[in-house]
Structures are given as C-alpha cells and as structure tokens.
Chains A and B, each alone.
Chain A
Amino acid sequence: NAGVTQTPKFQVLKTGQSMTLQCAQDMNHNSMYWYRQDPGMGLRLIYYSASEGTTDKGEVPNGYNVSRLNKREFSLRLESAAPSQTSVYFCAISGGLAGSTDTQYFGPGTRLTVL
C-alpha cells in the first residue's frame, strides 16, 4: 500500500446522505482507479482516470461521480447513498501513461456502510 492513502477508513451513512471518498498518491503515477469489493466477489472498477484531467466509467459507475483534482488526488463521490453501495472501496494507481499495462498499487480501503 506504499504511497496510496485513502480517507476515511470507515464511514457509516444513512440512505440519501452524500459523501466523498478521498484518495491521494505520492508516487507521481499517471493513472488512478476506484474499485469496490463486495463479499465473495472480486474488485469491480467504478471509475478510472488515465491521466490528469481525464476520467472514464468502469464496470459499475451508476450512483457515483469522480474528480481528478490534480495528478495526486482522485475523489469518489456518492451523491445519494443507497444500501446497495455498502462495500469496501479501494483506490489504486498505476505508473504508465494512458493505455499502460503496468501493475497497480492499492490503498488500504474505505469500509462504507449505508443504513
């Protein structure tokens, strides 16, 4: 998890509340990703940013928005949280340019519960 930080570590929301998950990296990598991990499943890509100023939808983008604030930071926003968004959220980075096949480095995760 070197170089990738996520805040908060834990969060409990009520249905309909909003919140922003923050991810920051100090490895000067170009690409950043948001995943969610549900019990018994692998990670699913929500959004990614191949480089500063660009964002694209992944496999499960509905209900989320993202902002690539600068090269270091990539935030994930839930505008109106739903119980189906209860999950563990991971931020990841990779070093290469758009289209890179680099490995990914993961943050420690944010455990989100929506009641």
Chain B
Amino acid sequence: SQQGEEDPQALSIQEGENATMNCSYKTSINNLQWYRQNSGRGLVHLILIRSNEREKHSGRLRVTLDTSKKSSSLLITASRAADTASYFCATMTTDSWGKLQFGAGTQVVVTP
C-alpha cells in the first residue's frame, strides 16, 4: 500500500491562479519531499520539509506540514503554463532511512 496519497488526482487552473494540492501519509516520517514530473521525463526535486518544520518556501512554492494530521500541502502561487506537470509527494519514514515512498501524484494543467 502507498504511504502517501495526493489529493486531488487532477487539477485544472488558469495562468495566474494558485494551485493547491495535498498529501496524506500513514506512518511517522523523518521528512516529506515534493517532486515534479513533466510528461515523459524524470522527476525533479522541488522542496524537502523535515518533521520538525511546519512551513517552507522556495520561490513560488509554499509547503506546509502538519504531523498531527499526517498531512502536507503544496501551494504554487501565480501559476504559469510551464507549471503543467504531475506533482508527487514522497515520504521518508523513520524506519526506512534513505528510502522514499511516493504517492500517486496530482496532475496539474495550467492553461494560458
């Protein structure tokens, strides 16, 4: 079974709007990471948030982590057509150091 579950499965927005996607997980984590995958390509790391952190920012990206609810959210502000991609959360649990468990991803389409 998958550790991380993203919601929604798909998201369609217009350029300039914000995109929010959520990730829920089941067991205690050391850190949670978000990756982007453009169609047919490998994954690209976006941001890592550790279990003792609550919020991190990187450019137009904002990630929150609520360990009490076992959930995280990724916000992309002022979306661009180039943000069209699939976004995956991946967790590194406390008993599997070095190994990531991925969710099924959120497909984001940003239309001009």
Give residues in A with beta carbon < 8 Å to B: 1, 4, 31, 33, 35, 40-45, 48, 50, 58-59, 90, 92, 94, 96, 98-101, 103-109
Complex interface bits, B56-72 against A, C-beta within 8 A gives 1, otherwise 0: 00000000000000000
Prevailing SS type, chain B contact patch = strand
Complex interface bits, B34-73 against A, C-beta within 8 A gives 1, otherwise 0: 0100001111110010100000000000000000000000
Q: Which residues of A contact B103 (CB under 8 A)?
A: 42
Interface hub of B88, B100, B101 (most chain A Cβ within 10 A)? B100
Q: Are B99 and A48 in contact (CB under 8 A)?
A: yes
Q: Are A105 and B45 in contact (CB under 8 A)?
A: yes
Q: Does B85 contact A (CB under 8 A)?
A: no
Count how many chain B residues have C-beta atoms less than 8 Å from C-beta atoms of the other chain: 26
Query: In the bound complex, what is the Cα–Cα distance between A106 and B44 (angstroms)?
Result: 7
Q: Are B98 and A98 in contact (CB under 8 A)?
A: yes
Q: Are B104 and A45 in contact (CB under 8 A)?
A: no
Give residues in B with beta carbon < 8 Å to A: 2, 4, 30-31, 33, 35, 40-45, 48, 50, 88, 90, 92, 97-105
| In-complex Cβ contact of A103 among B48, B97, B105 (8 A) | B48
How far, in Å, is B57 (CB) from chain A's closest CB?
A: 17
* Closest B residue to A4 using CB positions: B42
Query: In the bound complex, what is the Cα–Cα distance between A2 and B36 (angstroms)?
Result: 15
Query: In the bound complex, what is the Cα–Cα distance between A94 and B99 (angstroms)?
Result: 10
Q: Are A48 and B42 in contact (CB under 8 A)?
A: no
Q: Are A1 and B98 in contact (CB under 8 A)?
A: no
Q: A42-B88, A43-B88 are in contact. Are A104 and B45 (CB under 8 A)?
A: yes
* Closest B residue to A96 using CB positions: B98
How far, in Å, is B74 (CB) from chain A's closest CB?
A: 15
Interface hub of A41, A42, A58 (most chain B Cβ within 10 A)? A42
Q: Are A106 and B97 in contact (CB under 8 A)?
A: no
How far, in Å, is A113 (CB) from chain B's closest CB?
A: 15
How far, in Å, is B29 (CB) from chain A's closest CB?
A: 10
